[in-house]
Homo-oligomer: A and B are copies of this chain.
């Protein structure tokens, strides 16, 4: 082949997949050896970071994937996907509509929380004691993201998001069995304690705080806390899009047609 061909092939180089006619291999393993032999969570792991988790690691990973699948039609991502599926779009477009909305505010909390945990961990590595590392980590995090710490508290599930204690119990058990180190579990709980202490009343860890603990324990870089959440939430987005298709409706708006948006003559656009 010419150097031009090499250049264009190199432009699209990848370590994930090797393909030739009749051959598909992922990170070195032929697909036919993976099908039926690895679980779907193991395959996700292999694809996004390489390697194969142990059974125990895969179970913990799987719990986090199961936990985040849905938060109902009050969530803009779910509502939008349901509306999309009444506009003459395919399920692929409806899923994309929902996933696209998982931006910094709607889907970024896990990633932001993982950044906090990793930052505290680095401070521990440098010899700072836990309580100081937590306080310094929080200060540093808030200088970038603001006062409200992602992963803690919930505007809806008060006092407790039922997913978080269950996930924390599983990761605690995994730490006691040696599956994970427990470092980020300690960090997460220390952050929770510090936040409660500072405001004078306990605060709950939410699902983003708990899944970030798990993804950090398993060694996933922080942006993947968001990426993996997107895979998880895609399940609920698909389920709701499909339910809406079966309910029917055409051009479903946010409220029944007899309710009209309020017209407010004063311009608030600037």
Q: Which residues of A contact B (CB under 8 A)?
A: 1-24, 26-28, 30-32, 34-36, 38-41, 43-44, 47-50, 59, 62-63, 65-67, 69-77, 79-80, 82-84, 86-93, 95-97, 99-108, 155-163, 165-167, 170, 221, 223-224, 226-228, 230-231, 234-236, 238-243, 245-247, 250-270
Contacts and interface: CB of A to CB of B under 8 A. Distances in A.
B95 A235 contact: no
Given A13-B262, A162-B30, A227-B242, A83 B79 contact: yes
A258 B268 CA distance: 25
A268 B12 contact: no
A230 B234 contact: yes
The oligomer's copy count stands at 4
B32 A230 contact: no
A264 B15 CA distance: 5
Contact of A106 (B88, B162, B265, B270): B88
A111 to B, nearest CB: 9
Contacts of A19: 71-72, 74, 156, 260-261, 263
A168 B167 CA distance: 37
Contacts of A31: 67, 162-163, 166
